[in-house]
Amino acid sequence: MNHDEHAPALDDWLTPPHHRQGLHRVEQFVRCAPITRGDAAVRELPIGTEQLDWDAVAVDAAEGREISGDEFLRRSHTDGILVLRGDEIVFERYFDDFTPNTTHIVMSISKSFCGMLAGVLASMGALDVAAQVRYYIPELDGSSFGTATVRQLLDMTAAPNYDMSYLDPAAEVHAGDRAAGWRARRPGDVAGTRAFLAQLRGAGKHGSAFQYCSGTTDVLSWVIERAGGSGYREMMGEHIWSKIGAEADAFLTVDDHGTPYACAGMGMRLRDLARFGRLVLDGGQRDGVPVIPADWIAETRRGGHFATTAESDAENTGTYKNQWWIPGDSHESFYGVGIFGQYLWLDPSADVVIAKFSADDSPVAETPESVHALAAIARAATRTAQEI
């Protein structure tokens, strides 16, 4: 319970400017449960002797001019940013009351964690990505998701009747938040994420186009539970979080029934997000031990079949695969992203991981300015490495 008279209320913690407190005080507003780090040794991230020359970072801004790295961090209301080159921290900065020990919700980067856990179960033979949702979840037969395949969930090519318009209070994305306990419920709302998903009716043609939808990830996490025979949060801890050498437990928001909000509810420390990124960039191996299947990560990096933006906007067109975004740049980058500016950017060519927590004013998850900025930071880190 939140006793700070100046802190936001339940309906405000995701609303600017209150979200500048809410995003790293989530447990004061929403039920949270831990994802255990286990008892493994912490993976050390030494400070690099050659630091990123931050003054050399220049970003193509939205208005068509160049801005400095500092201006980008200010404009995106950055809480913390960390750049890894190899295993070394070459840039790390925190703002206001945020510290290395502060947890921050990662919003839709949670989806990227879900995609990697699906790959673990698929490699074990527990999850059939060609199966339809109703095979694993008979309760969803006849719903918007019943005849979609697991593969279509993974690649966001399922076509549910689900509006993701953050600026429309009547959209399903807000009803999903209320069902999950993220916002105060209204008369007629159902209580619980899975009750909300089961009531959805109507769908387009699954597999025919890209349709980004948070509910799709929540269905995927439900499938993962049925396939794995255990709780989603427990499996995330067992198969991934306990393997990355995290400093601390992560958390996952849960509804009244303890159901995880897998689409957006994970939170963690910034360095631990970077450790997860390092594991993925290393082909899923930690100290030579496979954690996430290398072929699953390779498949993710190759991208999906459908453009995520209009083909006419060639500069910003990318694809989506296994709950990750693939911009199709020359560095073969791929990334997870969440609203208000959460990013986990992986650049294989530069061997760079960028983890960023923000409280941007825009609920739009991905902006061209941020994508350009993270690519520029990765290139700057590469130049620093080449100068050594």
Contact 173, 165 (CB under 8 A): yes
Distance CA 252, CA 110 (A): 9
Contact 269, 120 (CB under 8 A): no
Number of C-beta neighbours around residue 9 at 10 A: 12
Name the β-bridge partners of 286: 289
Distance CA 190, CA 379 (A): 47
Burial 371-383 (b: 16+ CB within 10 A, else e): bbbbbbbbbbbbe
DSSP string, 63-104: TSSEEEHHHHHHHTTEEEEEEEETTEEEEEEE-TT--TT--E
Q: Which of 108, 221, 242, 358 is catalytic?
A: 108
State both tokens at 330: 């020359």
Q: Is residue 108 flagged as an active site residue? A: yes
| DSSP 8-state assignment for residue 15 | S
Chain-centroid distance of CA 282 in Å reads 18
Which positions are annotated as active-site residues? 108
